[in-house]
Structure 1
């Protein structure tokens, strides 16, 4: 991370903290007016301690959590950041508590006999609630991918780790020493169970979704392709009248790397021209990534959850590898561009879009998401959550 990026990060964190302090009374009033604090036992809570730029991690779990709430709830979201709480309150009727101190969290857990606490990432703030004995601590994660964060040694801190399927299980057992295999519970990808309708195309162009991940916060997480592939790819796509471009960068893109930030600005500028808008090219601001994936005919992704979700939804996929990092098994089952673009990237994408998804990709998808359809994954998640909440 460059000195400038470090400074930006400090400024961003300071701004977030000040905003949280100022917003806390307002958000508490909003939540109290929306629905009073529960008085009954609460079997399930979600603890989310991250900042607004990471809200997408919680957003994609809303529907599965609502199903769990309807069947075996209540489910309460314990959120540390007031901005996140205010945002999520617009998306769901699930109960929300602003638990911005460890004392608040602990009192809530004790008062309501919480039996399972869910975590969506490995935020350092998770360490404090993990000290509490009594409830089961369950790592849900916020996406299935082959990033190094998916097999972090931190997973050993949880009583259960809900994984997508056999590929995820094998990955964790290969990298996390002495982890208990019985704590790895396959549930598929319930976040994909989102009702979507793809509108009829107004012309015969191929819709290409370019969805790069961010550059990461360290060398072992630098999977982003914005600097290596992004600008060149978008320029070629815009110059070819066979395709329509959707660009969906990761919310954190450009936060730690000048080259990625520059590429992001250039691509954004290219897609913001009047000519690009008239031609139907756009920056994709769809809140739910599943809707974005279903809208596309073919996807270009990095090592990320977006790539795995495209796999799970049966979409033709190209994987970008920026170089320098060892990729997982996905790169051996889909078309992969290593280090940069091939000589004719648009031709490849058009060809992939108009033919059936390769049998090899379909077979690997079943290995990654082994429990079946997204609806079956919802059922598997609810059953696993109920199991985790049952006292021994």
Structure 2
């Protein structure tokens, strides 16, 4: 088993190397044709060191950051060639490819970066932390009760933008000596203000069910994926019903670790194709697009695993079921919403029609959902979370100005490895 696993890893490493080589070749031509970024224009950077496989982590921030960029220009700093290639093709934000530390330094010297956002905990984030004259802010790629949300790595950042009271309580329980009041700024879920989108079907009397499972995880403690344990049974029942329409959106890493999940994923996709062929009016959807939002707004009921999708859906304030992990070693934080959520066990997956009816129409279930939605995200009135997001950025910009002016008054020397020359000069000019 170990030899087979090592062999698969070797093959994957070889494929990754080929992908990176192809991406670098394609980037060379693209970069030669690009107009250089306007010097001193950008105030905010999004640091993204991951490859194309984790693009979903930054995609969900496209719309909120594009709106923010109208006030504070934003640029994405891409470190990996495959991700940079994809970003150049699809990002509404300007992109700088900074594969090497030298390229990163050169870009920072040319810009007036005051805030750097991070959407994940990539080890290469550490390379960016060396620059001291900008705020390093962890904005994450979703709200959840997974152990990822309470890692001590929060302390590595100057600040973190968090969703609401639940996140505050979670961090208070988990982290020692963390100045939560100053370093964690509550913003809600800005993405929820951009959930609307064009539907790939015409709405009718069918009940729309979103099934958005996570991947299988790379260790037992994070074995939250349900495709192989719940997915085939529940999808078979829904696809057989003339009263339901399914939107299937699996995690892009499904089957990367466990081939059983990959096999189950393919089974479901094939079943959707067969159901649409048998009844073209059903318009079941296999969704692997980059946009996430319209699915959450359009679905009458969502079925999700323990992942950020729970809380993306909770931000919409609409009914959901959460699959209960089969692996007994999967860690479940029952201090938050998961203590009162609507669970779907594997042995009840085939009864999904009755389960969806219950969460849609039971008054107690609906009331609990409203309570927890407010606990996690505060006021979810359209536009309110965007206001909080922008206010948090304004606060950090004001703090940056204060520190820059103080440095200019005291005449502190500029350390080229601590921050950008442009940033310090801007502080002196404003003093």
- 1:204 partner SS: coil
| Cα separation, 2, equivalents of 1:53 and 1:235 | 29
Pair 1:7–1:367, CA change in 2 (3 A): farther
| Cα separation, 2, equivalents of 1:233 and 1:349 | 11
Q: What's 2:216 paired with?
A: 215
- Work out whether residues 209 and 299 of structure 2, in 8 Å CA contact, stay in contact via their aligned partners in 1: yes
Moved more, 168-177 or 43-52: 168-177
Query: Superposition RMSD on alpha carbons, in Å?
Result: 2.4
- 2:348 partner SS: coil
Pair 1:197–1:157, CA change in 2 (3 A): closer
Q: CA deviation at 1:20?
A: 2.4
Which whole-Å deviations, capped at 9, do the CAs of 1:78-101 have from their partners, x for residues lacking one?
011233223223334422110111
Q: Does 1:327 align with 2:335?
A: no
- 2:42 partner SS: coil
| Cα separation, 2, equivalents of 1:227 and 1:5 | 20
- Work out whether residues 47 and 77 of structure 2, in 8 Å CA contact, stay in contact via their aligned partners in 1: yes
Q: CA deviation at 1:347?
A: 1.3
Q: CA deviation at 1:370?
A: 1.8
| Cα separation, 2, equivalents of 1:9 and 1:288 | 30
Moved more, 311-320 or 107-116: 107-116
Where do 5+ consecutive residues of structure 2 fail to align?
A: 404-431
- 2:89 partner SS: coil
- Work out whether residues 206 and 350 of structure 1, in 8 Å CA contact, stay in contact via their aligned partners in 2: no
Moved more, 25-34 or 329-338: 25-34
Q: Does 1:380 align with 2:388?
A: yes
| Cα separation, 2, equivalents of 1:320 and 1:2 | 30
- Work out whether residues 195 and 296 of structure 2, in 8 Å CA contact, stay in contact via their aligned partners in 1: no
Q: CA deviation at 1:22?
A: 3.3
Pair 1:330–1:203, CA change in 2 (3 A): same
| Cα separation, 2, equivalents of 1:376 and 1:166 | 16
- Work out whether residues 321 and 342 of structure 2, in 8 Å CA contact, stay in contact via their aligned partners in 1: yes
- Work out whether residues 186 and 371 of structure 1, in 8 Å CA contact, stay in contact via their aligned partners in 2: no
Mapping 1:265-284, distance limit 5 Å: 265-273=266-274, 274-275=277-278, 279-284=282-287
- 1:341 partner SS: helix
Q: How many residues align?
A: 391
Q: What's 1:174 paired with?
A: 173
- Work out whether residues 270 and 276 of structure 1, in 8 Å CA contact, stay in contact via their aligned partners in 2: no
| Cα separation, 1, equivalents of 2:198 and 2:74 | 31
Pair 1:250–1:5, CA change in 2 (3 A): farther
Larger radius of gyration: 2
Q: Does 1:264 align with 2:265?
A: yes
| Cα separation, 1, equivalents of 2:33 and 2:63 | 23
- 2:117 partner SS: strand
Q: CA deviation at 1:136?
A: 1.2
Q: What's 1:106 paired with?
A: 105
- Work out whether residues 321 and 339 of structure 1, in 8 Å CA contact, stay in contact via their aligned partners in 2: yes
Q: What's 2:303 paired with?
A: 300
Which whole-Å deviations, capped at 9, do the CAs of 1:222-261 have from their partners, x for residues lacking one?
1111122111111121222221222110011110112212
Moved more, 176-185 or 246-255: 176-185
Q: What's 2:412 paired with?
A: none
Q: What's 1:196 paired with?
A: 196
| Cα separation, 2, equivalents of 1:15 and 1:88 | 20
Q: What's 2:291 paired with?
A: 288
Pair 1:340–1:180, CA change in 2 (3 A): farther
Pair 1:2–1:293, CA change in 2 (3 A): farther
Q: CA deviation at 1:298?
A: 0.5
- 1:117 partner SS: strand
Q: CA deviation at 1:361?
A: 0.8
- 1:227 partner SS: helix
- Work out whether residues 46 and 76 of structure 1, in 8 Å CA contact, stay in contact via their aligned partners in 2: yes
Q: What is the TM-score with the length of structure 1 in the denominator?
A: 0.91
